[in-house]
A and B are shown apart, each in its own frame.
Chain A
Amino acid sequence: MSVRQQVLYLWLAEGALDTPVVGWAFHDGSAGRGPALPGSEPPYANGAAALEDGWCLLQSPAPQALSPGAEHAIGYLPNEFVFERRIDLAG
């Protein structure tokens, strides 16, 4: 098996895919043998720009039902989008 996965997490300003990137994380199963992220910071202006660069969306955040009394709570960043890119090392 010569396919390896690259995973990109993007945290966006809002729940829409075309809103600005505010945070990111990159994990490279190809150990550097696949393409790198763009050198800009953030690597993409918004989530849609990642799609245009060849990333496939694996997960987008579903709106959560609000718990009574906790409607104003803030904790983890809510708009987490997960992408993957499959790298064929033999190709």
Chain B
Amino acid sequence: MPAADHRLTTLEVARFVAEGFLRFDALVPAELNPRVVAELGTLAQAKLPQAVGVKPTSDGLDRPASATPLSGCYPPPSALGELLRLPAVRGIIESLVGPDPAYDHDFVHLLPAGSGYRQHLHVDAIVDSADPSFDIQLFYFPEEVAPGAGGTRFVPGTHLRRARAEGVSRYQRLLGEQQYAGPAGTLLVFHHGLWHAGQPNPSDRARWMYKIRLNPRVPQVRLWNTEDFDAQHNDPTDHIFATMRFEGVGHALRQMQPWQQGHEARYELVHRVRLWRYLSGDDRYDVDYYLTRLEQRAQGGDGVTR
């Protein structure tokens, strides 16, 4: 992201469309991370019992209700609120879901040292609608996570596939999947549809992760830093079998994951293009001509729908 403007660039948003996530290592200042961990401990005392239907004995923090504008969540003094109001974090949020999105929910994901708990691959919530709008989920790791020490497993590029959680649990391994490991203060930003799963933590350190889901309250059209938009946004003639550009948004959207091979990748690309149409506000946008070809034929080539 640009130094002076914390919003994302056009190419960063294009990469989010293609892969379904962005990663920002050690984004959160080192002095804030331990203060958030302390607050997460308090939050967990209320969240964890409630999640299994047990009334918590103490609320601890002033917890926001769903649909609260983010600006009203965790008012000062709150380390969590400080985290969510960091200019760098706000810039990412604003770029994808607008300047003051709605709080959906949050949760404290604590894996004690030696935890053997392993989730199946899943999608959060329920199967999606065809609407291209999307929520984001921030996965914040306040402490270093060593390789294999309970980092979240996820599969880049799965976010646009409409699937039910219980249906994707059958995939034990997919080429190109990742298990998060990284330094303290790292933020993963997921499209809500990205397939993911909690993993065991065989290490001798607890693993903390804070997850928050945010809903857009405005159309998600060109919310990022668009200074580079005209230079990166290709026209619909960018076509791998005719003339093509080897940079820009189209190039970013063509990048497939190792599990996305063969002709199936063309359908992935079509769905990325549809999402970019929504985000860019350009309903004629295309990559490799798949949609343009069909639309022009339907219009008889003269713009008149028959």
Contact (Cβ within 8 A) A72 B267: yes
- Asked if A89 is at the interface of the complex by the 8 Å CB criterion, the answer is no
A21 to B262, CA, bound (A): 11
* A interface residues (Cβ-Cβ under 8 A, vs B): 9, 11, 13-14, 19-26, 41-42, 72-79
**Across-interface contacts of A25 in B (CB, < 8 A):** 170-173
Q: Which residue of B lies closest to A22 (CB)?
A: B259
**Across-interface contacts of A22 in B (CB, < 8 A):** 174-175, 258-261
Contact (Cβ within 8 A) B270 A72: yes
Most buried by A among B175, B263, B267: B175
- Asked if B301 is at the interface of the complex by the 8 Å CB criterion, the answer is no
Contact (Cβ within 8 A) B163 A75: yes
- CB within 8 Å of A: which B126-168 residues: 160-163, 167-168
Contact (Cβ within 8 A) A23 B263: no
- A24-B270 contact given A75-B162, A76-B163, A78-B264, CB 8 Å threshold: no
- Asked if B268 is at the interface of the complex by the 8 Å CB criterion, the answer is yes
- What are 20 A-B pairs with beta-carbon distances under 8 A? A11-B259, A13-B264, A14-B261, A22-B174, A22-B261, A23-B171, A23-B172, A23-B173, A25-B171, A25-B172, A41-B173, A41-B175, A72-B270, A74-B160, A74-B271, A75-B163, A75-B167, A76-B161, A76-B167, A76-B168
Q: Which 3 A-B pairs have the closest CB atoms?
A: A13-B261, A25-B172, A13-B262
- A23-B264 contact given A74-B271, A75-B162, CB 8 Å threshold: no
- CB within 8 Å of A: which B159-214 residues: 160-163, 167-168, 170-175
Contact (Cβ within 8 A) A74 B268: yes
Q: Which residue of B lies closest to A41 (CB)?
A: B173
**Across-interface contacts of A13 in B (CB, < 8 A):** 261-262, 264
Shortest CB–CB separation between residue B165 and chain A, in angstroms? Answer: 12
**Across-interface contacts of A73 in B (CB, < 8 A):** 162, 267
**Across-interface contacts of A41 in B (CB, < 8 A):** 173, 175
Q: Which residue of A lies closest to B127 (CB)?
A: A75
Find A77's partner among B162, B171, B173 (CB 8 Å cutoff).
Answer: B171
Q: Which residue of B lies closest to A43 (CB)?
A: B173
- A23-B267 contact given A74-B161, A76-B167, A77-B171, CB 8 Å threshold: no
Shortest CB–CB separation between residue A82 and chain B, in angstroms? Answer: 10
- CB within 8 Å of A: which B258-297 residues: 258-264, 267-268, 270-271
**Across-interface contacts of B259 in A (CB, < 8 A):** 11, 22-23, 77
A78 to B271, CA, bound (A): 16
**Across-interface contacts of A11 in B (CB, < 8 A):** 171, 174, 259
Contact (Cβ within 8 A) B171 A14: no
**Across-interface contacts of B268 in A (CB, < 8 A):** 74
A11 to B155, CA, bound (A): 15
Q: Which residue of A lies closest to B163 (CB)?
A: A75
Contact (Cβ within 8 A) B263 A26: no
Contact (Cβ within 8 A) B271 A24: no
A54 to B123, CA, bound (A): 34
**Across-interface contacts of B264 in A (CB, < 8 A):** 13-14, 74, 78-79
